[in-house]
Structure 1
Amino acid sequence: MRFLRQTMIGFFLAAVSLGLLVWAVQMIGGAVQTRMADAPAGPPARERVFAVNVVAATPETATPVLTSFGEIGSRRTLELRAAAGGRVVELAPNFEDGARVQVGEALLRIDPADAQSALDRARSDVADAEAEVRDADRGLILARDELTAAQDQADLRARAEQRQADLAERGVSTTAAIETAELATSAARQAVLSRRQALAQAEARVDLAATRLARAEIALAEAQRGVEDLTVTAPFTGTLSAPNVVAGRLVSANERLAELIDPDDLEVSFRLSTAQYARLLDDSGSIVNAPLTVALDVAGVDISAQGRITRTSAAAGEGLTGRLVFAALEAAPGFRPGDFVTVRVQEPPLENVISLPAGAVAADGGVLVLDAENRLEQRQVDILRTQGDSVLVRGDIAGREVVAARSPLLGTGISVRPIRSDAAPAPQDPEMLELSEERRARLVAFVEGNSRMPEEAKARVLARLAEPRVPARMVERIESRMGG
């Protein structure tokens, strides 16, 4: 028992000694780590100040420009078709694709032999009908004269009967004489009735002759139109497209011969989204006649034309969104139906709006403005339009300075050093090139051979190419059209 007690006391003392040893090692290690971690105290940290470009938020009245892409078309396009079948016996010399024809110009003629025969027969029928009308008129005159003569004879017989009656009252005449006078009077009246019937028949014959003449004249007019329809003429001045006939070919009735396009009455069609379309509506829900500009890049020179919106499509179109809008163009030299152009529409003016760089506005409409101590504040604005590298906004930032370009390093409360650009940068001159004679001749030959370029634009480009130094951008655009 004594041995067990002493053993337990020894174990207890050993455990206490081991615990004290571990505790001492931990204290020494912590003291060493604390000593090694201690560093000499540095100077106090200074606040970092960022340099930022700022712009003044000035309210103004701005006219947004809506950009889209469209296709040029002609407002007057007509398919030329054959009114009757036959062989083409005559074709105009300029009946070819791209040829310009004048109003009333004969384009082609179909063999008129059959139609001319029908016209001659119709004229003969009209001559017969006219002869019948004259004969009926003469018969009517004779019938009237015969009726007059019969009426005179009847009057004479009536007076003779009256005399016989007077003589009978005086006892001079006999009953047989009176009866003979009465019979003569009755016969005269019967003759008058017959002449009246003949007159009615003569009048009916005149009416029938007039009807026959009218029918003959209608047939003559139809035959005349048949002959005229064999000659296809231009209903208006325009340009021929896709002709498909040659001299000697047999064509059928209503066959398509060519297409006539008026290149001077052009319009542009372009599609807008529903949101863009809603911006162009007036109070009554109708689209406004907003002015627009269409531009076509041709050999380094932008051909442009002015126009106004006229109408919209009746339906959105199957599988399409937005609205198809049409605009009539004014003078549009150089444009052709089918050209793909850039359309810039002037929207109704917006009042009390602020133009800011696109980088100054966050996606949620937040902007950073400066306070009196050049510290940043977060403000919210309404984004109205996006115009290239700038946006039109409206909000409570009028007269404040706005950070032109946001950065992840910038936020509310940060101190900044504003950089203001009070003066607009001077415009830079375009880069100029000195051309070799071979290169200049190649560019001039390409421009002179470009038939789609208007004469005014062509003269302007040739004048620039004749100068000793030529804008590099113009040379690049012309050579891109040349394919090298």
Structure 2
Amino acid sequence: MRFLRRGLVGVFLLGLTLALFALAGRTVVDAVQERMADDGPGRPAQERVFAVNVTTVEPQTITPILTAFGEAQSRRTIDLRLPVGGTIVEIGENTVDGGRVTQGELIYRLDGAEAEAALARVRADVQDAEANLRDAETRLLLAEDERAAAERQADLQRRALDRQQGLEERGVGTAAAVESAELAVASADQTVLSRRQSLAEAQATRDQAVTRLAREEVNLSEAQRTVGDTTLTAAFDGTLSDIDIVPGLRLTANEQTGQLIDPSLLEVAFRVSTAQYTRLLDDEGRLIRLPVTVRLDVGGVDLTANGEITRESAAVAEGQTGRLIFATLGAAPGFRPGDFVTVQIEEPPLDRVALLPASALGADSTVLVLGEEERLEVAPVTLMRRQGDDILVRASGLAGREVVSERSPLLGDGIRVRPLRTGTAPEQAAMITLTPERRAQLIAIVEANTRMPDEAKARVRTQLEADQVPASMVARLESRMGG
């Protein structure tokens, strides 16, 4: 019994000890949490200042550049076809795809035996018609002579009748003689009438002969043209395209065998939106002949050509929008019809506009202006043009003030900022030094480019041979090599 009592006391003391340990642990945990939640003495809140890039608003007169994309095409292109069919018997020396021909040079000739035979037959018909005309003219002359002789004979008969009537009045002649003279006059008049009828028939026969000769001459002209149509020559100096013919090939009438293109007379066709089109019109609504610059990227080098807007499409094609504009190009070495080019149009100049980064403009057409104590202010502007990554705006009262170049959701009216100003001078293009091996490799890339004209190759080669070479040019050439 005593052992049991002592065991129970030991268990009670053990439980009491564990409870005291749990209470001490809980107290320690509460103390730690209370300490961690206590921030200590309060400190005053500091205003957050953002670093921003700023740009000075400088109103000036700027010529906007409208950028579009178009296709180069020749102003003088004809399809090669003949109005007659036949077998090709001869092909010109330069009659190949891409061959250059001069005006009047032979392209190909068809077998003209049938046309020559038809021409010979028509010439014989012309000779026959000429002989008929000569015979009709001779008959007409004879008919005129016969009519004149009949009229002279009729005059003699009338004088004889007058003489007989005079004798009868004096009592010397007889009535029988007068009647005989009257019959002779009537017979002479009948003869004159017959000769006149023969003359009219001779004139009609001559007219028919003239008409037949004219008809045969028309047939002769057609036969000669048919013979000429068996030979196709170049209408102007140009380059042949899509040529795929060989001697012995049978062609049908009006079958197209290729095209003749004049690569020296180029123009570019490009499409602009209706809003852009309105900016190219004068006060009377006519298209302004604005200058354009056309660029073509060939082997890492931009080929450029200058031109001028000349006309616009008369109607909008089905399924299309905007307006199709045509610009005539001047000297354009290296350009070919079908090239996809970039067109830059110089619009009429805008006065009192400022050039700003496009990121400076908000969705509500406002900019953030640096004000007093370097705090931002919201100012409205009028967007005039977008120029790639830049914009042209008109902002009254903001001349000389600084605006935030890159807006963010953290910036707004009243926010204090730390402006970061950059120099206005443009940075020079990065230049690098090439090793002899790399220089030779790049020059080989340029020489292997068949589309680049010789003038452009010489210009690029000169730049590559210099001590310092533009890094952008090297990157473009190496990208072509990688492609």
Aligned to 1:134: 134
Show CA shifts across 1:321-365 (max 9, x none): 433333222221111111111111222222221212223222222
Aligned partner letter, 1:424: T
Contact 2:76 2:262 in 1 (8 A): yes
Give 2:107's aligned residue. 107
1:325 counterpart residue number: 325
1-structure distance, mates of 2:442, 2:42: 74
Q: Share of identical aligned residues, percent?
A: 57
Amino acid at match of 2:299: A
Q: Contact (CA 8 Å) 1:369, 1:378: kept in 2 or not?
A: yes
Letter paired with 1:242:
D
Which residue of structure 2 aligns with residue 456 of structure 1?
A: 455
Provide the residue aligned with 1:7 in structure 2: none
Contact in 2 for aligned 1:65/1:346 (Cα 8 Å): yes
Whole-Å separation in 2 of the counterparts to 1:471 and 1:54:
29
* CA deviation after TM superposition for structure 1 residue 216, in Å: 0.8
Match of 1:54 in 2: 54
For these two proteins, the number of residue pairs brought into alignment is 452
Q: Which residue of 2 aligns with 1:76?
A: 76
> What residue number does 1:405 align with?
406
d(CA) in 2 for partners of 1:87, 1:403 = 76
Runs (5+) with no aligned partner, structure 2: 1-29
Shift of 1:287: 3.7
How far the C-alpha of 1:272 sits from its partner, in A, is: 2.4
Give the 3-state SS of the residue equivalent to 2:178 in structure 1: helix
Letter in 2 for 1:218: V
Q: Normalised by the size of structure 1, how large is the TM-score?
A: 0.85
1:49–1:416: 8 Å Cα contact kept in structure 2? yes
Structure-1 residue corresponding to 2:173: 173
Q: Write the distance in 2 (CA, Å) between the matches of 1:171 and 1:467.
A: 138
Give the letter for the 1:360 counterpart: A
Q: Which moved more, 1:101-110 or 1:312-321?
A: 312-321
1:98 touches 1:239 (CA, 8 Å); kept in 2?
Answer: yes
Alignment of 1:282-297 (within 5 A): 282-297=282-297
- SS of 1:163's partner is helix
Query: Whole-Å Cα distance in 2 between the matches of residues 294 and 89 of structure 1?
Result: 44
Letter in 2 for 1:207: D
Deviations 1:395-435 (A, max 9, x none): 334222222333444332233444444x4346335322323
Residue-by-residue CA offset, 1:90-111 (whole Å, 9 max, x unaligned): 1101111011122222211111
Q: CA RMSD in A?
A: 2.7
Distance of 1:283 and 1:131 partners within structure 2 = 71
Specify every segment of 5 or more residues in structure 1 that has no aligned partner in the other structure, as ranges.
Answer: 1-28
Q: 2:351 is matched with which residue? A: 351
Q: Judge conservation of contact 2:97–2:244 (CA < 8 Å) in 1.
A: no
Question: Partners of 2:306 and 2:292 in 1: how far apart?
Answer: 6
- Partner residue in 1 for 2:240: 240
Could you tell me which amino acid in structure 2 is paired with residue 471 of structure 1?
Answer: P
Residues of 2 paired with 1:66 and 1:295: CA distance? 13
Report the Cα offset of residue 390 of structure 1.
1.9
Return closer, same or farther for 1:366/1:166 CA change in 2, 3 Å cut-off: closer
Q: Distance in 1 between matches of 2:202 and 2:42?
A: 142
Structure 1 residue 115, shift from structure 2 partner: 0.6
Deviation readout 1:168-187 (Å, 9 max, x if unpaired): 22222222222222222222
- What SS class does the counterpart of residue 452 from structure 2 fall into? coil
CA distance in 2, matches of 1:445, 1:315: 48
> 1:142: how far off?
1.5
Instruction: Work out the CA distance in 1 between the residues paired with 2:34 and 2:115.
Output: 121
1:107 and 1:70 map into 2 onto residues whose CA distance is: 32
Which secondary structure state, in structure 2, belongs to the residue aligned with residue 256 of structure 1? coil
Which residue matches 2:446? Answer: 447
* Amino acid in the other structure paired with 2:251: V
Matched to 2:460, the amino acid is: V
Contact 1:290-1:309 at 8 Å conserved across structures = yes
In structure 2, what is the equivalent of residue 13 of structure 1?
none
Inter-partner Cα distance in structure 1 for 2:411 and 2:86: 83
Instruction: Report the counterpart of residue 474 of structure 2 in structure 1.
Output: 475
> Could you tell me how far apart the structure 2 residues matched to 1:442 and 1:266 are?
34
Compute the displacement of 1:205 (Å). Answer: 1.4
The residue aligned with 1:187 is 187
Q: Could you tell me which amino acid in structure 2 is paired with residue 356 of structure 1?
A: L
Shift of 1:469: 4.6
Q: Secondary structure at the match of 1:121?
A: helix
Q: Does residue 1:39 correspond to 2:24, yes or no?
A: no
**Residues 334-343 or 64-73, more deviating:** 64-73
What amino acid is the match of 2:300? G
* TM-score using structure 2 length: 0.86
Q: Deviations over 1:260-285 (max 9, x none)?
A: 12212222222323333333334444
Distance 1:321 1:444 in 2: 44
* 1:263-314, Cα deviation, whole Å (9 max, x unpaired): 1222222232333333333444444333221101112211011122333344
Aligned to 1:277: 277
Closer/same/farther in 2, CA of residues 471 and 381 from structure 1, 3 Å limit: closer
1:159/1:306 Cα in 2 relative to 1: closer, same or farther (>3 Å)?
same
